Structure 1
Amino acid sequence: MENVDYIIVGDGYASLFFAHQLIKNNKSFVVFSEEKTSASRVSAGIINPVVLKKFTTFWKAQEQIDFLKETLNEIEKYTGQNYLIDAPIHRIFHDENEQQLWLKKSSNDNLFHFLDKNFTHLEVVKNDFNSGKVNQSARLDVKGFFTGLFDFLLKREQLIKEKFIYSDLNIADHTYKNISYKQILFCEGMAVKDNPFFSDIPVVPNKGHHIKVKLSRALPENNTIKKKHFLFPIDDEKYFYGGTYDREQLHHEIDSSAVKQLENGLKEFYPHDFSIEEVHFGFRPTVKDRRPIIGRHHLHYDMYVFNGLGARGILNGCYFSRSLYDYIENKIPLHEEIAFERFT
């Protein structure tokens, strides 16, 4: 029988950032990965402290940005890689009104650190009214992040590549097959709907598509361009463009309407030829109040959930992993805005 402090079920941002908290604190654990293509693993990796439709920010934006940089520096110490890509977002303005709104908002106390007052004219793409740079924005090397952490866990024999079978969980004995555990954490995204212990949590699937394209004229800099969706380079030949938001078409197939939406969106500001090479989609677990769902099962006190990260999975997953760890290990109460109990 193998004895561990934690079993983690799931392999997205919530799972891996919580695993990092356990590594930092010398806790033993295993991660169960079904190796399906999750929303986390096909995400854009955008690190953005600003809501770019309204030029507003969100709860704890600065704290989340700072904590993510600190965490990625810590992860670098054992993976040998820092997965932060310094490629700021440039938001293309639609008209002069947006320019003036940006300047007005940039004087607000909670936005002046983020909204650069000096506008930029971008080459190659159409931006008649210039663009605004989001300071402190960046990208995560998504592929590198998951590959690096999975390789690290595999070497330590902490990654189990198989589907977690709920019926094999012995709650009374705190065992799962040949593993004895103290705590078990479910970080399953939309797969939580099949979980008999947490299937009732109010997460709503939001389907997102993105495309990988070849551009006939390359962008001169490694920036992230935003107009409707995000465009940025992912290797020497391909660019990422996406992603869409859809709460209606939830089948597990590519939606041609979403692909058309992306194609038309790119044509609006990229006036050159391009070809669509790949199409991908995933289901983000979103919550009505735009806050994660974190907490303990009301009957089984060694059983926890970490879900509902939404479109800000990197920032939410990183920042609130510490809140969850402190809640379990140090008995520090969760903030009421993220606590599971707000729905019960």
Structure 2
Amino acid sequence: MKNIDYIIVGSGYAGLFFAHQLIKNKKSFVLFSDENKGASQVSAGIVNPVVLKRFTTFWMANEQINFLEQILDEIQVYTGRNYGIKQPVQRIFHDEGEQKLWRKKAENETLQPFLNTHFDYAEGVNNPFKTGIVNHSLRLAVSDFFEDFFGYLSKENILISERFEYDSLNKNTYKDFRFKHIVFCEGMEVKRNPFFNFIPVEPNKGHHLLVKLAQPLPSKFTIKKKHFLFPLKDGLYYYGGTYDRDGQGEVVDPVAVRQLKEGLQEIYQHHFDIVEVKVGFRPTVKDRRPILGRHATEENYYIFNGLGARGILNGSYFSAQLYNFIENGTALNDEVSLERFS
């Protein structure tokens, strides 16, 4: 029987950012990953402090953006790379009314740092009403982040590539491990979890396209009108993603694909080929807050879930909150605490 401080179940943003807290604080752990790519691994990786439909910001946006930059610097120490891609979001305006609304919102104290009021044309795409740039926005190099992080965990012999078996869990032992704490970071897989299957997370199905463009675009910005468009490796581009709270099953929805195809044709007026359609299920909560906390009776069992469409920001910021709650007894913010559902 091997003694360790933690078991982490789940390998999306919640699991890996919490693993970073344990690495940083020199805690022993293993992480269970069933190797199925969840929503995190097929996400766009957009880090954006502005809701681009109505030009508003969201709860703790500034604090989370600043904290993420610190976390990425810390992760670089052991993976050797910083995964933040400084290609800010360039929002294509639908009409002159959106330009005026952007300028008006930029006068708001909370939005002023984020909404750049120097409007310009974006190269290579249709944008007759110009664009606005979102300051302090960036992208995470998603595939590199997961590949390198898994590589580090594997090299340290703390990545266990198998499905977690709840029947083998007994208080503070699991198979060959005796642990102090276990943290479940399973996304929508939490519905299988007999300890936390009551939490009110709902799947939000998202589609995105991998496309090849006949005329490549300059890569200074992440283009956004209805959806995001940006370059990946090997000449591919990401275009997406959709939001469907009623979508069921892993099957590709042709309506979503048509919606994406029409959205891309609206801004990109050259030929493109759809190479692949990707699908993922974001774990969302009605109040748009993550869920962190301790089980009511199993006092060393914890949950970290409900990161939604802002998995990178929520994952990096609240992983530290959860760690300090477990190790130092620091109270959780009431708005993210599991106890709000009691």
1:1-344 aligned within 5 A? 1-171=1-171, 174-344=172-342
Q: Structure 1 counterpart of 2:117, which letter?
A: K
Give the Å deviation of 1:109: 0.6
- 2:136 aligned partner, one-letter code: Q
Question: SS in structure 2 opposite 1:313?
Answer: helix
Displaced runs of 4 or more, over 4 A: none
3-state secondary structure, aligned to 1:341: helix
Point out the more displaced range, 250-259 or 45-54: 250-259
Give 1:308 shift.
0.2
TM-score, length-scaled by structure 2: 0.99
SS where residue 41 of structure 1 aligns?
helix
| Separation (CA, whole Å) in 2 of partners of 1:247 and 1:321 | 26
CA distance in 1, matches of 2:207, 2:145: 21
CA distance in 2, matches of 1:75, 1:124: 35
Alpha carbons 1:210, 1:243 under 8 Å: kept: yes
How big is each residue's C-alpha offset from its partner over 1:285-324, in whole Å with a ceiling of 9 and x where there is no partner?
0000000010000010000000000000000000000100
Distance (Å, rounded) in 2 between the aligned partners of 1:228 and 1:105 = 20
Shift of 1:222: 3.4
Percent identity over the alignment is: 60
- Preserved contact between residue 47 and residue 314 of structure 1 (Cα < 8 Å): yes
Aligned partners of 2:209 and 2:287: how far apart in 1? 29
Deviation for aligned residue 1:249: 2.0
Opposite residue 163 of structure 1, the aligned amino acid is R
**For residues 24 and 277 of structure 1, what CA distance do their matches in structure 2 show?**
39
Aligned-pair RMSD on alpha carbons? 0.7
How far does residue 204 in structure 1 lie from its aligned partner after superposition? Answer: 0.5
More deviation, 230-239/300-309? 230-239
Give, in whole Å, the separation in 2 of the partners of 1:54 and 1:258: 22
Q: Deviations over 1:106-136 (max 9, x none)?
A: 1111011100010120111000000000000
TM-score by length of 1: 0.99
Which residue identity does 2:301 align to in structure 1? M
Contact 1:222–1:233 (CA<8 Å) still a contact in 2?
no
Paired positions, count: 342
Q: Quick check: 2:290–2:306 contact (8 Å CA) kept in 1?
A: yes
How many angstroms apart in 2 are the aligned matches of 1:248 and 1:104? 35
CA distance in 2, matches of 1:220, 1:68: 26
CA deviation after TM superposition for structure 1 residue 236, in Å: 4.1
In 2, Cα distance between equivalents of 1:244 and 1:49: 19
One-letter identity of the residue aligned with 2:332: L
Q: Which range moved further: 185-194 or 251-260? A: 251-260
Q: Is the 8 A contact 1:222 1:232 kept in 2?
A: no
* Preserved contact between residue 93 and residue 132 of structure 1 (Cα < 8 Å): yes
- In 1: Cα distance, 2:29 partner to 2:120 partner: 47
Where in structure 1 are there 5+ consecutive unaligned residues?
none
Query: Per-residue deviation at 1:221?
Result: 2.8
Alpha-carbon separation, structure 2, partners of 1:250 and 1:10: 21
| Cα deviation, residue 224, structure 1 | 0.4
Contact 1:8 1:185 in 2 (8 A): yes
Corresponding residue SS for 1:335: coil
Q: Deviations over 1:256-304 (max 9, x none)?
A: 1111110011111111111100110000000000000100000100000
The residue identity in structure 1 corresponding to 2:176 is: N
Contact 2:204 2:247 in 1 (8 A): no
Deviates more, 1:305-314 or 1:245-254: 245-254
Q: Contact 1:190–1:284 at 8 Å: present in 2 too?
A: yes
Amino acid at match of 2:74: E
